[in-house]
Each structure stands twice: as C-alpha cells, then as structure tokens.
Amino acid sequence: MTTAQAEASTLTEPKTTTTVTGSVALLEGLIAEGTDTIFGYPGGAIMPIYDALYDYKEKLSHILVRHEQGGIHAGQGYARSSGKVGVVFATSGPGATNLVTGLADAQIDSTPLVCITGQVFAHLLGTDAFQETDVINITTPVTKWNYQVTDATEIPAVLAKAFYIARSGRPGPVLIDITKNAQLQLFEYEGYVPCEHIRSYRPKPIIRKEYIEQAAALINTAKKPFILFGQGVLLGEAEKEFKAFVEKSGIPAAWTILGAGAIPTDHPLNVGMLGMHGNYGPNVQTNACDVLIAIGMRFDDRVTGRLDKYAKQAKVIHLDIDPAEIDKNVKADVPVWGDCKETLPLLTALVEEKTYPEWLAEFRAFDKEEHDTVIQKELNPGTGEMTMGEVVNKLNELTHGNAIIVTDVGQHQMVACRYAKFNNTRSNVTSGGLGTMGFGLPAAIGAKFGAQDKTVVAIIGDGGFQMTLQELGTIMQTGIDVKIMILNNRFLGMVRQWQQLFHEKRYSFVDITSPDFVKLAESYYIAGKKISEREELISALEEMLNHKGSYLLEVMVAKEHNVFPMVPQGSSVSEIRLK
C-alpha cells in the first residue's frame, strides 16, 4: 500500500465513539486539559455532574468548600500560585450568583478560571423555576466569555473553547452554564479535541517591529528612564526575559502590587512599590523621569493618582498584550503590542548596555528619607504596641522571603506588600483591582493546593477574616497546611485611617468586635495561639511555621496606626505624604 493509499484509508476509517452522558464528557474534558483539582459545592441543578464525579475520585480531586465565594477565591489562589487554570463547580440560582464577586475579582486581576454552573432543565428556562437565575446575563460583565449549554453534544467543544479563552492572551474567567438535561443526556462521544484557534479571536496582537525600534531609540537616548512593571510579566511567564531587559538596560524598576515577585525584592535595580501606599521614591520619580516604560501594567488609578498631573514630562512606552489598555488611561508615545515574553527579547536586543548611577542615587536618597521617617519606626518601634510592619518583618526573617504570602484587603495588605520579601515568582497572592475583603483565607487554601511544596502564609485583618471564616471547615476536612496570621487592630483599619485623615476622626461604624479566634480555630481542630507582647513574637512565629498542619496565630497590633507613605485621593503621585 502506498503512503497516499494509507492516508486515504485512515481518512475513511470511522472515528471511535462511546456513548456517554454530558457529565462524563465534561469530566473527561477536564482531565484532558490537565485539571487535577476542582473547588466546588454541590446542589440540585449540578447533581448529575457530581454523580459522575463519584467515579473519577482517582483522577480528579474535589475540594468541598463551605461557600461558593470561598470556592471561587480558592480557584483564584490555585491559579495564581500554580500558573494553571482554576476550576470551580457551583449549582444554579444562589450557587451561581455567589460566584459573581470572585468572577469580578478574577476579571480585573486577569486570573484564568473555568467555572461550571448547573442550570434547570432547558424546558424550564424563563419560567422562574426553583433556583433558576439568568446566570449568563448576570455574569456577562464579569467574565471574559460565557456560554449556556442545553445540548450535551456541545460540551466537548465548548469546554475546549473555554480553556483556550481563559488561559490565552490576557487571561480571565470563563463560565459555562449547563442545563440539567444536557448533563444527563447520552450521546456518541468522539473524544476531546483541545481548542487552538477561534475565528475572530486574536489573543496575541501582531508585534510591530517599528514600535520596538522606536521604543529602543527612546530608551537609548534617555537620561532618566524608569520602568513600571505589573502582573503581565508573571502572566506571560516572562520573568527571565524581564530580568535580562532590566539588567542590560540598567534602568530602575518599580512594581505594582500584582507585579511583585517578577524580579526579587532585593534586586539592586528593584526600587520598590508604586501606588497609593507605595514607596516614596518610585512615586515622586514618576514625575521626574524622561522616559517611562510600562510593562504589563494598566495604569490603575491607585498607581497614577491624578491623571492630569501624571508623568506629563515623560515620553511613555507601553508594552501590553491587551491593546484596549494602551491609551486607556495614559497616552503612550510608543505602543508596543504583544506578549512581553516575545516583545521584551526584541527590545533587549536593541537597547544599549548602560548604567544610571546618578539617577539611581536619587532613588536611594528618597529611600533614606522614607526609611528614617517611616520604615524605621514601623519595623523597629521598640516600645508601645506592636506594628503590622514589625510582624511582617520578623516573618520575613524566618521565611527568608521564600513563602507564598496571601493577603486579604486592608491596612495589613498594604503593609505586607510593602515589607514582605518576594524572592520567587507567583509568591504574592492578593486581590488587586477589586479589593475583595474575604479573599485571603480561601485564596490561601487554593494557593496551597496549587503549590503544595511551598509554605503558604495568609496575612488577614480581623475584619476580612470574619467574611469567609467558614472556610476553616475546608481546612479541617482536607487537612491542608495553611498558616493563618490575623493582624488584629480591632478596627476596619483602612476605612478608619481615611476617616481619621479626611473626615475629622469621625469613626463611623469601623469599630469591630471579634470572636475568640483561637477558640474558633480549635473548634475546627486547628491549633492556634494569641499574642499581644513583642517578646512573644519570634517564638510564636516559629511555632506557627514549624507546626505540622494548619495553624492560626492572632497578633494584637496597634489600634490606631496608619499606613504611610500615602498618596491622598485626588492628589498627584509626587504629592505623596510620609506622615
């Protein structure tokens, strides 16, 4: 038989098919996509999928959370620490609507998720059936793509498309709503084919080399260039390429909170954190540089302050995979579209090898002023109540900057981002754009499942912890090892800080009473300890880190302590306050 005859014979052979339910096809597709962990909560409308899951216990690990919002935040933490797509199951009605906050969080922070929701039978759609909600229209604004399946034959192709969209280009959350009849329906399954292309969807824009050349020319003639980098470096897995660019160009680089870890905190050209509670030098120098190079960041308002006073003296180069972000907030003189893993090497090849000792010395002068005015007092107060900063600093000394730090939202978040050391990529997991209180505990659970060889420390405020503390039940049932550190200042601290500084200390409903967190943890069979004295801190942290299994450490910190520096809302970044 000739080669041509063999090929023709192969083409005419019928495909192997098996008769399966839509639920089984879904699970087979998840396995084909490399899924190993699912976070979910069963219910009536998704029961056929859970029934099928009973036979897949050896291939798919299902983590039973205590609330669907906890499930999706756990999926986010898993995705952020592992670099894989997080997978979440929920039932219809309230199960689906409980995902909305997490979807919005994942959308703005570009976290790849595939969420599967059950739905009522197709013939009941639109009848206000029990636990029916229009999940497609509800989630359209907070997903990268969503789709409702009413026929089982669609499931393999729709799932493949969902994974492709979730992880490609600028990642994001995708939701598939599957009616109960489609879950139960038998059909001839021909196997799973991953999606590699969708007509009209271009995840990576075409790289225009003329813009690379223009960017290099601007950089090579700059006297005071400055790099701002964000999560796009991490999402593009471009850490090596970024480091090579920074080191060859010799340009000082500052990070957004989601960009932390793209290069180590202690790298000599890493000059600190941008934004409202960022470091003094990076904020002030934004309005002093002559060329501003933004890489994988979106010029969020917490980074820019007043746009009409932001970097007006600088030529702006903006590298981003999402063309919609370029010129959205800050006008770019040179737009560099594309995946930074691909664009950065092209740019590095054209930039001249340089150093900027005098320019870098200006940053160091600001560092010294910030250290003397803020940092020294925060990290080494000596007397009085403990500060959040000194707790985080002592944690650094014990973990050597190698732990995954998961934070909730509030003062403790800003302190942790400022003072924690991030020596490894994907080691800072926090809610950036949406600022979701309650994110920390479930996200830490997911982060540990995504990186089981890493120490995971959740740093949470007393307010945020009480929003999702039911997920202690998930820790209890799974036995996962998460270290939980509650920094308790007996206030909703960030709101209180603003009320003190801008509302004449009119503390309106920010004084929060908490339960006995240690006893609460013990009721879930989780060891714990509460401390309030500085002399206890090191030994308590060591006990937490060395304990086999999860551990809750409550640290009582100063009640009315503010996070500085701070750019007041409506001010320029160069108007940042040290006190």
324 to 283, 402, 565: CA distances (angstroms): 25, 35, 31
Residues 432, 109: contact at Cβ < 8 Å?
yes
β-pairing, 113-119 with 86-90? Answer: parallel
Assess whether 7 carries a catalytic annotation. Answer: no
List strand residue ranges (DSSP E) for 76-221, in order.
86-90, 113-119, 145-149, 173-179, 186-189
Q: Are 574 and 506 within 8 A, CB to CB?
A: no
Instruction: Please name each of the domains of the chain with its CATH number.
Output: 18-189 (3.40.50.970), 209-362 (3.40.50.1220), 386-560 (3.40.50.970)
Q: Which of 7, 59, 130, 505 is catalytic?
A: 130
Q: What pTM was estimated for this model as a whole?
A: 0.95
Q: Is 502 a catalytic residue?
A: no
Q: Is 517 one of the catalytic residues?
A: no
CB-count exposure of residue 323 (10 Å: 0-12, 13-18, 19+): middle
Pick the catalytic residue: 33, 68, 370, 390? Answer: 68
Burial class (CB within 10 angstroms; exposed 0-12, middle 13-18, buried 19+) of 476? middle
273, 386, 414, 494: the catalytic one is 494
Q: Which two tokens stand for residue 161?
A: 């498309």
Q: Is 477 annotated in the active site?
A: no
Q: Which of 178, 174, 35 is nearest to 114 (CA)?
A: 174
Q: Identify the active-site residue in 131, 214, 470, 477.
A: 131
Which of 69, 76, 89, 180 is labelled catalytic?
180
Q: Does 68 participate in catalysis according to the annotation? A: yes
**The pair of three-digit structure tokens given for residue 150, joined into one six-digit string:** 């009413």
The pLDDT tens digits along the chain (579 residues) read 454 554 444 444 557 889 999 999 999 999 999 999 999 999 999 999 999 999 999 999 999 999 999 999 999 999 999 999 999 999 999 999 999 999 999 999 999 999 999 999 999 999 999 999 999 999 999 999 999 999 999 999 999 999 999 999 999 999 999 999 999 999 999 999 999 999 999 999 999 999 999 999 999 999 999 999 999 999 999 999 999 999 999 999 999 999 999 999 999 999 999 999 999 999 999 999 999 999 999 999 999 999 999 999 999 999 999 999 999 999 999 999 999 999 999 999 999 999 999 999 999 999 999 999 999 999 999 899 999 999 999 999 999 999 999 999 999 999 999 999 999 999 999 999 999 999 999 999 999 999 999 999 999 999 999 999 999 999 999 999 999 999 999 999 999 999 999 999 999 999 999 999 999 999 999 999 999 999 999 999 999 999 999 999 999 999 999 999 999 988 999 999 998
**DSSP one-letter code for 59:** T
The predicted pLDDT at position 569 comes to 85
